[in-house]
Copies of this chain bind each other. A is one copy, B any other.
Amino acid sequence: MTTYNAYIIDLDGTMYRGNEPIAYAAAFVDTLVSEQIPYLFLTNNSSKTPAQVSHKLQQMGIPSTAEHVLTSSMATADYIKREHPQARCYVIGEEGLHEALKQEGLAVVEENSDFVIIGMDHSITYDSLSKACREVRHGAQLISTNADTTIPTDRGMEPGNGALTSVVSVSTGKQPTFIGKPETIIIDQALKRLDAEKPNTLMVGDNYDTDIGAGINAGIDTLMVFTGVTPFSCYPSLPVKPSYYVQNLSEWLPHIKKTAL
C-alpha cells in the first residue's frame, strides 16, 4: 500500500454531521499531526470563512487553523484572480464568498461585471437572480462555487448551490464554470497549498459524487468513509471504485505513516 504524505479531507459527513463531530475524526487528525503529515480540509460550503470553519473544528477537538481550510469560495476567488486580476464581480452569496473575494482584492459591483459568481445564498431574491441573468447576457462569465444539487441539513435535504445556479444557466443558456468538488480546479489548488504531489496524496470523504469524484477526476487516490451521504449499500454499484474504503476513520489509523523521504 502506498503511504501518503498529504491528506485532503472533506468536512461534512467526514469530520462532522451538522454540529455533531463524527467518531474518530479528532483521532484521525491527531494522528496526522503526530506523524507530521500535512493536511487540508476541503469543503464545498461557500458560506463560511476559513476562520469560522476552523473555529468549529477546534470546538470539536479537531486540530485546525484557518490555514488548514480551503473553501469553494476561496478556490473561486483564487481562480478568478488568476483569470483576471482586476475582475469586477457581481456576486450572489454569503459572508464566506464576499470575504474570499475581498482577500484577493477583487471588486464586487452591481453592474458592468466581468464575472457573475453564484454561491449559496439563503437570502436569494428574484431581483438578485434577475441581475445575474442580465450581467451574463451582457457578457459576464458565469462562475458557480459548486454544483451540489442538495445540502443535508437538520431539516432534511435542502436545495444546494447547483440548484440555485440553474436559474441563471437555464434562463441565459450559458453553462457555468463550477469550481468546487468534483471539479479538478479546487483539487489543483489544494495540492498547491499542501505543496504535495498527486501520487502521495490521499483524498478522504463520504460523498461519492463530490469527494471521491474529485479524487478520481484529478487522478489522486481516494479513501471513502461511510459516515455521511453515500451509504455502504451503494458501494457495489459505484461505477469507479474508491482506492480504499472504511466504515469509519478508526480503521485507517494504522495506515497513517509518513514515507521516509
A-to-B contact residues, CB < 8 Å: 121-127, 129-130, 133-134, 137, 149-150, 155-160, 162-164, 166-168, 170-171, 173
Contact = CB atoms under 8 A, between A and B. Distances in A.
Contacts of A166: 163, 166-167, 170
A219 to B, nearest CB: 28
A163 B171 contact: yes
Contact of A122 (B124, B126, B160, B167): B126
A159 B168 contact: yes
Contacts of A170: 149, 159, 162-163, 166
A167 B168 contact: no
Report which residue of A149, A156, A166, A167 has the largest number of chain B beta carbons within 10 angstroms of its beta carbon: A167
A159 B171 contact: yes
A142 to B, nearest CB: 13
Contacts of A134: 155-158
Given A123-B126, A126-B121, A126-B123, A156 B171 contact: no
Nearest to A123: B126
A163 B170 CA distance: 5
Contact of A158 (B133, B149, B157): B133
Report which residue of A133, A134, A162, A171 has the largest number of chain B beta carbons within 10 angstroms of its beta carbon: A171
Contacts of A121: 126
Contact of A159 (B123, B155, B160, B167): B167
Given A126-B159, A163-B170, 5 more contacts: A122-B127, A124-B125, A125-B125, A149-B170, A159-B171
27 contacts: A122-B126, A123-B126, A124-B126, A125-B125, A126-B159, A126-B164, A129-B159, A129-B163, A130-B155, A133-B150, A133-B158, A133-B159, A134-B155, A134-B157, A137-B156, A137-B157, A149-B173, A150-B171, A159-B167, A162-B170, A163-B166, A163-B170, A164-B167, A166-B166, A166-B167, A166-B170, A167-B167
